[in-house]
Structure 1
């Protein structure tokens, strides 16, 4: 079999790219230098638009994942939450999601080679295992440090300041059906339910010298809830931040997922963006109109990048964070609209001006709320 598409990188996004191309009648080979199960530090939340892509692949992880209804922001007794305007998210261990995608790709007829590093690529060919494999397209899904990006001579992504992301699992029943984002001066802690008896805690910070246990103690509510809980995984870390690329498609080459740039992990969009890009790329290749993928990539990433900049700017100042939280508590529908805009189910034009004006007034009102107010 001579593949139409060779996908370099067999993580969730690479497998999604292979599945999407196979569903459009293309012959696909996925090549990965590691051997499953393959883990990577991430928040393990899939937003509703990513869940929709999984369903279109024929993957329904319910029973091996936990549905969450929305997002909750909290700091020092102030809290506000909003449910998704459409669909639900999924909390799922990355290794479980990876295996589900492997199984579905195998059923669909995607060829996969594990433990085989790619040593070089060229236009219409990939070299691995001492031989050359001919193809029409090479897709780089090989992560932040993509070798495909370098070999294909794409311009390296521009980068914003990077932070450290640490992740660890704990054996404790989820206490909420929302993903919680806890804020303080040191960064953010994100709590995602991943099973009926397990949660994932991810901490995003500039405090590179602190260990996971020390960082958890900086978030008193999480620390209290984890008292006596047994860790179910080792703490793992990675760099996180936002980076952008001018071009992600060339003459027979394309990039998806982190190989095509990143968004800060605070957005919770990493997996979902990659899944959506995989589908957009497969459509463009099947239609022989690669420029459509470039446009789709920009469209898919525009709002998450903007939201990342906004949230990180708010996160830098405690007084601003508390004003924003109080404004959202006063006009909780604004948080729901912002969440809808963030995940693409609503447009910014749909935000009611009256509610937005009330949000701004509440932000700048003095002593409008007492600590402990929750909506």
Structure 2
């Protein structure tokens, strides 16, 4: 490849594609390296919070999906719900979201190369991918939770606590609620996301190893709504979920999305943070202030990180975990404020 783009974006998920789209629309020459054909599927809750919906609308994207009214916590017969105050969320298949972003990137003239990048070299003027004939002024690592670029550059930070994993499957049943339901079990959470008139997504988060069916059995009321014959997709998994990066800016390499660090999927803000990070990254490159991206990222994600960390710590304490849902039910205004702070 003879041209030397402004940005080489490693990873063609939502974070990488959003970065490419912001860059192209700002007049920067961007190239995306993504070995998987579009659309790319991934195990995720598939519930877009209102902030993510607004960010996608600002990019001019029309993502197919099912409107979401708010968040509902459920534990046995008890429940508490909070409606979104600033517009609806969206239950959207990951493939639909990825397809919309991928088409927009191609329409913007961005080249997407079927290339896997695991090693990079940088100097004062650019970044090179050895053996691929690729060099760019800047490299954006948007290659996910287990980012090979982050690892190759020595930016991984060891994490503490039990490893948590996510499992996801779809069922051809009509949604019974306009809310994303979070069912609290003894050692797992089950997320129910309406995705269409006859489709719901079930995502399970847990530190306990086991099959999807075995984990779902821990939620008997929910499992009764999901006859085995209505499952229409295979089980997909992801994890360990917690990931930390030493920095988001390392010379001419910048990290965005899950590659930049991830706490947990408890609050469902991964896509919102990826879109916010992509915009901040490109804005700083345009201003000539790449180092400022670190502080902008920290400021944009602080509320999410603090709330998610606090909830996760409570979840991991045997004395506190059973009280999360009852406390939310006793303090519905506080629960609503927390939901909308994240939304």
TM-score by length of 2: 0.92
Does the 8 Å CA contact 1:165/1:204 hold for their aligned counterparts?
yes
Q: Match of 1:141?
A: 142
Which entry has the higher C-alpha Rg, 1 or 2? 1
Partner Cα distance (2:55, 2:11) in 1: 19
Unaligned runs of 5+ in 1: 344-375
Partner Cα distance (2:229, 2:198) in 1: 11
Q: Match of 1:278?
A: 278
Q: Match of 2:40?
A: 38
Partner Cα distance (1:228, 1:247) in 2: 44
SS of the aligned residue for 1:200 comes to: strand
User: What is the root-mean-square deviation in Å for CA atoms of aligned residues?
Assistant: 1.9
Does the 8 Å CA contact 1:187/1:315 hold for their aligned counterparts?
no
Matches within 5 A, 1:202-217: 202-208=203-209, 210-217=210-217
Q: Match of 1:127?
A: 129
Between 329-338 and 272-281, the greater mean CA deviation after superposition: 329-338
Say if 1:242 and 1:289 are closer, same or farther in 2 by CA, change over 3 A.
same
Does the 8 Å CA contact 2:38/2:102 hold for their aligned counterparts?
no
Matches within 5 A, 1:210-229: 210-227=210-227, 229=229
Say if 1:186 and 1:4 are closer, same or farther in 2 by CA, change over 3 A.
same
Partner Cα distance (1:332, 1:229) in 2: 37
Q: Match of 2:314?
A: 314
Q: Match of 1:354?
A: none
Does the 8 Å CA contact 2:171/2:200 hold for their aligned counterparts?
yes
Say if 1:204 and 1:324 are closer, same or farther in 2 by CA, change over 3 A.
closer
Does the 8 Å CA contact 2:263/2:305 hold for their aligned counterparts?
yes
Deviation of residue 261 (structure 1)?
1.0
Deviation of residue 155 (structure 1)?
2.4
Does the 8 Å CA contact 2:171/2:201 hold for their aligned counterparts?
yes
Q: Match of 2:202?
A: 201
Partner Cα distance (1:148, 1:31) in 2: 12
Q: Match of 2:166?
A: 165
Partner Cα distance (2:247, 2:187) in 1: 34
Matches within 5 A, 1:13-162: 13-61=15-63, 64-114=64-114, 116-118=115-117, 120-123=119-122, 124-127=126-129, 130-151=131-152, 153-161=153-161, 162=163
SS of the aligned residue for 1:264 comes to: coil
Task: Tell me the alpha carbon deviations over residues 291-323 of structure 1, each in whole angstroms, 9 at most, x when there is no partner.
Answer: 221012112222222222222233346764554
Say if 1:87 and 1:220 are closer, same or farther in 2 by CA, change over 3 A.
same
Partner Cα distance (2:331, 2:54) in 1: 29
Say if 1:159 and 1:319 are closer, same or farther in 2 by CA, change over 3 A.
closer
Say if 1:186 and 1:322 are closer, same or farther in 2 by CA, change over 3 A.
closer
Say if 1:150 and 1:228 are closer, same or farther in 2 by CA, change over 3 A.
closer
Partner Cα distance (2:272, 2:154) in 1: 23
Partner Cα distance (2:182, 2:99) in 1: 28
Q: Match of 1:180?
A: 181
Aligned residues: 337
Q: Match of 1:246?
A: 246
Deviation of residue 228 (structure 1)?
5.6
